[in-house]
C-alpha cells in the first residue's frame, strides 16, 4: 500500500483528497498535518511514500519547510499544493526540490496521476509548466523582477505584501528583526522600489498574494 501524507491547514481539502485517494486500491492517506511543524514531526514518527505539501500553511514558509524535508528525507517525493497559478510559484518550488506542483483548482483530478508519476522518480509537470521551465532557462533576462529574489527574500516580500510587520515576520520565520529588515532592504533594492506600499501593489498585481 502506498502511504500518502497530506499536509494542508484546511480540513475540507484534506477530506477531499482522502476521498479521491480512497478510490484507488493501492493508495491511502496514512497521515495528515495542519501546519509545518506537524509535517516535520509526522515524517520523523511515521513512514510515508509521498508527501502532498501545501505551500502556504501556518508556521514557517513552505519553501523553508520544503528545503528542510529535502535535506532530511532526500528520497521522499514531494508534491506541492497551492492556490496560486503555476506561473507564480511553480518554477521556484521545482528548483527548490519539489517533485511536482498542483494547483488546488485541479488537484482533485490530477493528484492520482501526479502521485504515480513522482513515485517513478520523475517530475510531475503540466505542459504549461514544462514550457515555463524551458523558457526560464532560455530567457533569464526577461523574467519578472521577483524571480531575481532569493527564496528567503521572496518569502519576506510576500509576507510584507500580506500586511505583516517586520517584527511579526521575524517571529514567524525564527529570525531576528535586524535580519528580516536586511532582507526587506535587499528586496526593495532588487525590485527598485521605495517602500512596502509599492511592494504590496506589485505582489497583488502579480498574483503573489490575495
The CATH number assigned to the domain holding 28 equals 3.40.50.2300
State whether 158 and 127 are in the same domain: no
64-111 pLDDT per residue, tens: 788 889 999 999 999 998 877 666 677 788 888 899 988 887 778 889
pLDDT of amino acid 86:
64
Q: Does residue 121 lie within any of the structural domains?
A: yes
Contact predicate 192/145, CB 8 Å? yes
Q: Which of 109, 138, 167 is the last residue of a domain?
A: 138
State whether 89 and 134 are in the same domain: yes
State whether 150 and 72 are in the same domain: no
Q: Does residue 200 lie within any of the structural domains?
A: yes
Residue 91 grid coordinates: 518554477
User: Measured at the alpha carbon of residue 152, what is the angle toward residues 150 and 153, in degrees to the nearest 5?
Assistant: 65
Work out how many domains the chain is built from and give that number. Answer: 2
25-61 pLDDT per residue, tens: 999 999 999 988 899 999 999 999 999 998 877 766 6
pLDDT class for 205, splitting at 50, 70, 90?
confident
State whether 157 and 175 are in the same domain: yes
State whether 59 and 118 are in the same domain: yes
Against a cut of 0.85, is the pTM above it?
A: no
State whether 75 and 167 are in the same domain: no
State whether 120 and 194 are in the same domain: no
Q: Which of 87, 117, 138 is the last residue of a domain?
A: 138
Other C-beta atoms closer than 10 Å to the C-beta of 141 total: 5
Question: From residue 197, how far is each of 90, 95, 137, 161, 202 by CA, in Å?
Answer: 25, 29, 31, 8, 9
Instruction: Please tell me the distance from the alpha carbon of residue 148 to that of residue 92, in angstroms, as a whole number.
Output: 11
Q: Across the strands, what pairs with 100?
A: 79, 124
Here the CATH number for the domain that contains residue 173 is 1.10.10.10
Q: Does residue 210 lie within any of the structural domains?
A: no
State whether 73 and 121 are in the same domain: yes
Q: Please give the residue range of the domain that contains residue 47.
A: 2-138
State whether 134 and 149 are in the same domain: no
pLDDT of amino acid 61:
67
SS3 of 154, please?
A: helix
Instruction: Please tell me the distance from the alpha carbon of residue 15 to that of residue 32, in angstroms, as a whole number.
Output: 10
Amino acid at each position: 500500500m502506498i502511504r500518502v501524507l497530506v499536509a494542508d491547514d484546511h480540513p475540507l481539502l484534506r477530506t477531499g483528497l482522502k476521498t479521491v485517494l480512497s478510490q484507488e486500491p493501492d493508495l491511502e492517506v496514512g497521515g495528515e498535518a495542519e501546519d509545518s511543524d506537524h509535517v516535520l514531526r509526522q515524517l520523523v514518527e511515521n513512514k510515508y511514500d509521498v508527501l502532498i505539501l501545501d505551500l502556504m500553511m501556518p508556521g514557517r514558509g513552505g519553501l523553508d519547510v520544503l528545503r528542510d524535508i529535502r535535506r532530511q528525507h532526500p528520497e521522499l517525493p514531494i508534491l506541492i499544493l497551492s492556490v496560486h497559478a503555476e506561473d507564480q510559484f511553480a518554477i521556484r518550488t521545482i528548483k527548490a526540490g519539489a517533485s511536482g506542483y498542483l494547483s488546488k483548482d485541479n488537484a482533485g483530478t490530477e493528484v492520482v496521476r501526479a502521485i504515480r508519476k513522482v513515485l517513478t522518480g520523475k517530475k510531475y509537470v503540466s505542459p504549461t509548466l514544462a514550457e515555463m521551465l524551458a523558457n526560464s532557462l532560455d530567457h533569464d533576462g526577461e523574467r519578472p523582477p521577483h524571480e531575481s529574489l532569493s527564496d528567503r527574500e521572496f518569502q519576506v516580500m510576500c509576507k510584507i505584501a500580506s500586511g505583516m510587520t517586520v517584527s511579526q515576520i521575524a517571529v514567524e520565520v525564527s529570525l531576528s528583526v535586524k535580519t528580516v529588515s536586511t532582507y526587506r532592504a535587499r528586496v526593495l533594492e532588487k525590485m527598485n522600489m521605495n517602500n512596502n506600499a509599492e511592494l504590496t501593489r506589485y505582489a497583488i498585481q502579480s498574483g503573489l498574494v490575495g
